[in-house]
Amino acid sequence: MATFRRQLTPIWDQTPATVNAPAKELSGPAWVECFPASRDVDDLAEPFRSNVKSFLSALAAAGASVSIANTYRPKERAYLMHYSAAIARKEVPPEKVPAMDGVMIEWVHPTKDASIRAAAAMARAYDIVYPPALSSNHTRRRAIDMRISSIVGKSVAKADGTQVVIQKHADIDSDLFAVGASYNVFKLVSDKPHWSDDGH
């Protein structure tokens, strides 16, 4: 009677089982919902946090309306914003973007044009106004993006108590810039909503 013997490969000759790595997801606007930025002033670093609160209190007392879009920005979000904009502007080829731990994004689509279109759509979804840096005052908790309205004709107190009547208020020229500076909250004129502790 013939005996069937199953041939076993010695364990030292076996190929290790492939560990299933997390699948990457193609770039696109859906990534905007990942790694959300904070809108909470309490997430800012001191002394900027207290300076912003004082400035906001003066604005509230004057009857201004303030809409906060961003305070602290996680480094992962900064990475996604930076490279989506860079690919969209054709400054960095999609295949040259370095990977980031914890961000399972695939920048390379089936075609180069598709990669650029997806990155451009992503950048638009982030509402990018100013080319975003990988490391910035947002990632260092020293910046706030906010829109201030309903302030023209109203009187706002500077840090020393001096009252300033806001006669002009536009993105590139506003009496509020000097008021904010008195609280060490400085406007970056080239970035419409951006204020920080050093104007950058």
Reported as a single tens digit per residue, the pLDDT across 79-113 is 999 999 999 999 999 999 999 999 999 999 999 99
Taking residues 159-170, what's their average pLDDT?
96
Q: Which residues pair with 105 in a beta bridge?
A: 25
pLDDT value at 137 more than 90: yes
Q: Where are the beta strands (DSSP E) in the chain?
A: 25-26, 65-70, 105-106, 143-149, 155-157, 163-165, 186-187, 194-196
**Residue 151 has which token pair?**
């302030």
C-alpha 94/C-alpha 87 separation (Å) is: 6
> What domains, with CATH codes, occur in the chain?
30-196 (3.30.1380)
pLDDT value at 164 more than 80: yes
* Selected residue with higher pLDDT from 20 and 145: 145
Q: What is the DSSP letter of 100?
A: B
pLDDT value at 192 more than 70: yes
**Residue 120 has which token pair?**
């451009």
**Residue 80 has which token pair?**
């996604």
Percent of the chain at pLDDT exceeding 70: 89
C-alpha 200/C-alpha 191 separation (Å) is: 9
Degrees, nearest 5: CA angle 53-54-55: 90
Three-class DSSP category at 49: helix
C-alpha 44/C-alpha 53 separation (Å) is: 10
Residues 6+ apart with CB under 8 A from 10: none
Per the confidence metrics, is the pTM higher than 0.85? Answer: no
**In the prediction, which pLDDT does 20 show?**
60
Taking residues 6-32, what's their average pLDDT?
64
